[in-house]
Chains A and B, each alone.
Chain A
């Protein structure tokens, strides 16, 4: 269970996230939608502790003993939290010049003392975890390639593998498919959904397209100007409300067409689990 209470982030006088509260039960897949600038990235970065909240609490009970306010963690405990609350990004955020294998091993970095990790001394168990994660994402044949030799879709799968070896309880994804073509977007979203279902990992995913969120998520949270304007199952999100969420502040609705464009329906992930489409 992850409980967000009155979470707020202000950049000088701009309130990017404004007293946001919600609860996510374990194993749910949540899509956060909203137009660009609504505060989605800031919210996820606060949950991972990449950005410090101005006020509010993030309570979690299945990472540390008992319920802990994540905002109050310091030093090594912050790093432990980040590992357990993994994050993937729109631009993949891999290390371009290093091998896929090394990039995925980075997910193990918080489980060891600083020095061995600096010297790239990871135990065999970590390498086994890495290979298994790459297998699940159908990327094992690229293990020795440099990350910058891969396509965007492949890089995002490597980033998800890195998140997996962190052995996370929660997986945050900040617009994971915004830089990908339709086919790769489908592969990546299928992978996230599969991980959510098979491992019971809570997934919170920022998405620009409403249709993707409807296709893949159990629940949709819509943000506008830093605040939550809708929170419920996809079926309850009416077109009228969606238009309001995406409508621009000046009354025009240039974002709406884009937001309503459908992605392909999710492929059956039971099938793709045995034979996932590779590049």
Chain B
């Protein structure tokens, strides 16, 4: 535009374009409003439909709520300040046994995390599009990991309890299988984001596929692997408790039997142990994860 144009004319033009802009802006707003209304309307309709189909009834919920608190009250025996130590001691009469079970659960989670991470990690290279030797391997590996991951670990545990009998072994196996699937998929996605440059460097120097993985990929992905693994330990402690419900040993088994036998105080005591343990592990793993991620960002 010519800068020597009379200012009045320029103003008129500006006003013209401002009006045009306003018009387009309003049209845009209207369209956006319609889209938003459609989206939220659809969303709410879906929620209501889902609630009806699942027989989610607000009245049943309201009627059931007091019973939940009743149950919670039963889980904590009367404790008075004057006899505090003795009361707690009585509540936790089974502490030795429960701590032993807790240790079992933690070991199950730890073992399953280690085994699952090693196997899942190894398979993740075959499940990464950029690293798999061919498309068929990639595809088959992705599907295998999907099956291992999408079948819930409680279902794996039921299967293994039927096959191997009651005890920690089926629990470890169940969580391991689920961990292989979960870690394999997460690691494969990390693998797909590595820089190809170091890989080219190693191949050009005469390295083979394993060398490329060992020296080109692993140093790049290690911080992310670590972070995912700390998170997985956290999840697996929870899983190891749950699989105990179907006979796979550990503290979950104790919790399940005490509920079945209506020993509510015992159930409360065990539940508190589990909650505190998981909170502690949450905090620890958070700390480790941050230090792992810190290293990752430092490296780039």
Residues of A within 8 A of B (CB): 48, 50, 79-80, 82-83, 86-87, 89, 91-98, 102, 106-107, 109-111, 114, 117-118, 148, 159, 162-163, 166
Which chain B residues lie closer than 8 Å to A166 at the CB level?
205-206
Could you tell me the distance between the alpha carbons of A109 and B201 in the complex, rounded to whole angstroms? 12
Q: Which of B203, B210, B215 contacts A50 (CB 8 A)?
A: B203
Q: Given A97-B219, A98-B215, A106-B215 in contact, is the A87-B210 Cβ separation under 8 Å?
A: no
Which chain B residues lie closer than 8 Å to A97 at the CB level?
219-220, 222, 299
Q: Given A114-B208, A117-B211 in contact, is the A96-B203 Cβ separation under 8 Å?
A: no
In the complex, the answer to whether A106 meets B197 with C-beta atoms within 8 Å is no
Which chain B residues lie closer than 8 Å to A94 at the CB level?
198, 201
Measured CB to CB, the nearest residue on chain B to A111 is: B206
Which chain B residues lie closer than 8 Å to A110 at the CB level?
205-207
| B202 sits at the interface (CB 8 A) | yes
In the complex, the answer to whether B204 meets A95 with C-beta atoms within 8 Å is no
* Residues of chain B in range 182-198 having any CB-CB distance to chain A below 8 Å: 197-198
In the complex, the answer to whether B204 meets A114 with C-beta atoms within 8 Å is no
Measured CB to CB, the nearest residue on chain A to B204 is: A87
In the complex, the answer to whether A109 meets B219 with C-beta atoms within 8 Å is no
| B14 sits at the interface (CB 8 A) | no
| B23 sits at the interface (CB 8 A) | no
Measured CB to CB, the nearest residue on chain B to A79 is: B206
Q: Which 4 A-B pairs have the closest CB atoms?
A: A110-B206, A93-B201, A83-B206, A79-B206
- How many whole Å from B200's CB to the nearest CB in chain A? 5
| B181 sits at the interface (CB 8 A) | no
In the complex, the answer to whether A93 meets B200 with C-beta atoms within 8 Å is yes
Q: Which of A79, A89, A102, A162 contacts B208 (CB 8 A)?
A: A79
Q: Given A109-B202, A159-B201 in contact, is the A96-B299 Cβ separation under 8 Å?
A: yes
Q: Given A106-B215, A118-B211 in contact, is the A89-B203 Cβ separation under 8 Å?
A: no
| B143 sits at the interface (CB 8 A) | no
* Residues of chain B in range 33-53 having any CB-CB distance to chain A below 8 Å: none
What are 15 residue pairs bridging A and B, where the CB atoms are less than 8 Å apart in the complex?
Answer: A48-B204, A50-B203, A79-B206, A92-B201, A93-B197, A95-B198, A97-B219, A97-B222, A98-B215, A109-B211, A114-B210, A117-B207, A118-B210, A118-B214, A159-B201
In the complex, the answer to whether B211 meets A50 with C-beta atoms within 8 Å is no
Could you tell me the distance between the alpha carbons of A277 and B219 in the complex, rounded to whole angstroms? 31
Chain B window 278-300, contacts with chain A (Cβ cutoff 8 Å), 1 for yes, 0 for no = 00000000000000000000011
Measured CB to CB, the nearest residue on chain B to A147 is: B198
Give the most central of B200, B204, B210, B216: most A CB within 10 Å: B204
Which chain B residues lie closer than 8 Å to A87 at the CB level?
204
Could you tell me the distance between the alpha carbons of A82 and B212 in the complex, rounded to whole angstroms? 14
Q: Given A96-B220, A114-B210 in contact, is the A91-B203 Cβ separation under 8 Å?
A: no
In the complex, the answer to whether B203 meets A82 with C-beta atoms within 8 Å is yes
In the complex, the answer to whether A95 meets B215 with C-beta atoms within 8 Å is yes
In the complex, the answer to whether B216 meets A86 with C-beta atoms within 8 Å is no
Could you tell me the distance between the alpha carbons of A97 and B224 in the complex, rounded to whole angstroms? 14
Which chain A residues lie closer than 8 Å to B299 at the CB level?
96-97, 148
In the complex, the answer to whether B205 meets A89 with C-beta atoms within 8 Å is no
Could you tell me the distance between the alpha carbons of A91 and B195 in the complex, rounded to whole angstroms? 11
Which chain A residues lie closer than 8 Å to B219 at the CB level?
95-98
- How many whole Å from B221's CB to the nearest CB in chain A? 10
- How many whole Å from A206's CB to the nearest CB in chain B? 14
Could you tell me the distance between the alpha carbons of A114 and B213 in the complex, rounded to whole angstroms? 12
Which chain B residues lie closer than 8 Å to A83 at the CB level?
205-206
In the complex, the answer to whether B211 meets A82 with C-beta atoms within 8 Å is no
Q: Given A97-B299, A148-B299 in contact, is the A109-B200 Cβ separation under 8 Å?
A: no
Could you tell me the distance between the alpha carbons of A87 and B210 in the complex, rounded to whole angstroms? 20
Which chain A residues lie closer than 8 Å to B201 at the CB level?
89, 92-95, 106, 159, 162
Q: Given A96-B299, A98-B219, A109-B211 in contact, is the A82-B197 Cβ separation under 8 Å?
A: no
